[in-house]
């Protein structure tokens, strides 16, 4: 892929107020999700749920890309069409999670570094041949007593930059995901400070490794209070602080910022994205949600094939609400189901 193609792919994923469905939960995470609805986590049940999301009629109006997991990119729809092919036929760009998870950072209790660089070039080549056109790597930064350390931030930023350079070499758009976790009782201002430090380190490393920013997307956390913080910041405050932080630390040449939901409820994730777009910035500000696009659909499905249509409707509704939020045109009244 030429650099022009990388730029075009990055822009296409977030064109027309579309966003990304993150369906790349590792088997461990997917097992937790299925456990929560009392469904056994078998390859077939994971395939069935993801297949109903990908084949949901109309999802392609709001979803420009789907992030798959290694197991999922090799699975097929009920009619035998491989998932990457099914998505591409609908105009939805297939992507793939390529990191191998966050592991304890030696010598730094409570902190993690994401692994997966060894052998990555060969894996990217294979994923591209399976239909992937973009990739994702998630770094995790934890806020706590005396953490994050600069060692943790720098180790993760370095790995993200090496991953991004390898992706571009192999013709895949890298989604760069440095997630500052919502876990903890920290204030929104502490989240602001750590997000600023993290983004600064990430863009410093991307510059050093000569990554072409126009052929990347950023997948960050919003600047938001910790889950256990007694003061819950309003959507307006989240939006104002998120944009201020990003204006100072994310170059305008990055074509799109696709937020993760990170444990926000479906409604909060939509309301906050809408508020962020009401403030606006030089980048397209969209979504790459996992839980905030799937929670209602998963509950409606409950593992019963006869609920597939209801689950698809729940998923497409969330996708539409988030697409409206990208346009800054969402409002709470639109959440009321319209009587047939």
Single out the catalytic residue among 25, 177, 179, 271: 177
- According to DSSP H, which parts of the chain are helical? 3-13, 27-35, 43-54, 70-73, 83-89, 120-129, 150-169, 188-208, 235-249, 266-279, 291-301, 308-326
Q: By C-alpha distance, which of 192, 185, 109 is closest to 147? A: 109
**Is residue 181 a contact point for ligand 13P (CB under 6 A)?**
no
**Is residue 297 a contact point for ligand 13P (CB under 6 A)?**
no
Centre a 10 Å sphere on the Cβ of residue 196 and count the other Cβ atoms it contains. 17
Residue 231 annotated to the active site: no
Q: CB under 8 Å to 12, separation ≥6 — which residues?
A: 64, 93
Distances (CA, A) of 338 to 19, 62, 270, 322, 334: 23, 19, 19, 17, 9
CB 153 within 8 A of CB 131: no
Q: Coil, helix or strand for 38? A: coil
CB 96 within 8 A of CB 127: yes
Residues 23 to 82 in contact with ligand 13P, rule: CB under 6 A: 24
Which of 203/287 has CB closer to ligand 13P? 287
Single out the catalytic residue among 219, 241, 266, 271: 219
Which of 164/260 has CB closer to ligand 13P? 260
Which of 17/219 has CB closer to ligand 13P? 219
CB of 290 to ligand 13P, least distance (A): 3
Contact region with ligand 13P (CB under 6 A), list: 2-10, 180-188, 245-253, 283-291: 283-291
Residue 32 annotated to the active site: no
Select from 262, 284, 308, 316 the one that contacts ligand 13P (CB under 6 A): 262
Which of 103/208 has CB closer to ligand 13P? 103
Select from 260, 311, 316, 319 the one that contacts ligand 13P (CB under 6 A): 260
Please give the residue whose beta carbon sits closest to ligand 13P in the complex. 290
Q: How far apart are CA 173 and CA 9, in angstroms?
A: 7
Q: By C-alpha distance, which of 93, 87, 85, 23 is closest to 64? A: 93
Q: By C-alpha distance, which of 102, 51, 99 is closest to 73? A: 51
CB of 244 to ligand 13P, least distance (A): 22
Burial class (CB in 10 A: 0-12, 13-18, 19+), 238: buried
Q: x/- string (CB under 6 A) for ligand 13P, residues 124-163?
A: --------------x-------------------------
Size of the site for ligand 13P (CB under 6 A): 11
CB of 269 to ligand 13P, least distance (A): 7
The DSSP output letter for 82 is B
Phi, psi of 320 (to 5 degrees): -65, -40
Which of 140/213 has CB closer to ligand 13P? 140
**Is residue 291 a contact point for ligand 13P (CB under 6 A)?**
yes
Site residues (CB under 6 A) for ligand 13P? 22, 24, 138, 177, 260-262, 289-292
* Residues classed as catalytic: 177, 219
């Amino acid at each position: 892929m030429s650099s022009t193609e990388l730029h075009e792919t990055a822009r296409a994923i977030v064109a027309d107020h579309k966003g990304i469905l993150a369906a790349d939960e590792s088997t461990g995470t997917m097992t937790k999700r299925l456990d929560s609805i009392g469904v056994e986590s078998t390859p077939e049940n994971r395939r069935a749920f993801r297949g109903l999301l990908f084949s949901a009629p109309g999802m392609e109006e709001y979803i420009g890309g789907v992030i798959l997991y290694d197991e999922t990119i090799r699975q097929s729809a009920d009619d035998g069409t491989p998932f990457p092919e099914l998505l591409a036929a609908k105009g939805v760009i297939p992507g793939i999670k390529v990191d191998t998870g966050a592991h304890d950072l030696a010598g730094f209790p409570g902190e993690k570094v994401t692994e997966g660089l060894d052998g990555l070039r060969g894996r990217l080549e294979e994923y591209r041949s399976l239909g992937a056109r973009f990739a994702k790597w998630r770094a995790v930064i934890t806020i706590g007593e005396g953490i994050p350390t600069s060692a943790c931030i720098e180790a993760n930023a370095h790995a993200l930059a090496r991953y991004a350079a390898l992706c571009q070499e192999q013709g895949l758009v890298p989604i760069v995901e440095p997630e500052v976790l919502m876990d903890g009782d920290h204030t929104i201002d502490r989240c602001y400070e750590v997000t600023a430090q993290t983004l600064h380190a990430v863009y410093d490393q991307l510059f050093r490794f000569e990554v072409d920013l126009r052929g990347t997307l950023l997948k960050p956390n919003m600047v938001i209070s910790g889950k256990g913080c007694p003061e819950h910041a309003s959507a307006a405050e989240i939006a104002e602080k998120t944009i201020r932080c990003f204006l100072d630390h994310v170059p305008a040449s990055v074509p799109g910022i696709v937020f993760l939901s990170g444990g926000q409820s479906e409604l909060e994730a939509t309301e906050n994205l809408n508020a962020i777009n009401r403030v606006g910035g030089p980048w397209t500000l969209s979504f790459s949600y996992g839980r905030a696009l799937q929670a209602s659909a998963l509950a409606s499905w409950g593992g019963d094939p006869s609920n597939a249509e209801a689950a698809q409707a729940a998923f497409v509704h969330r996708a539409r609400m988030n697409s409206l939020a990208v346009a800054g045109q969402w409002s709470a009244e639109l959440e009321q189901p319209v009587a047939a």
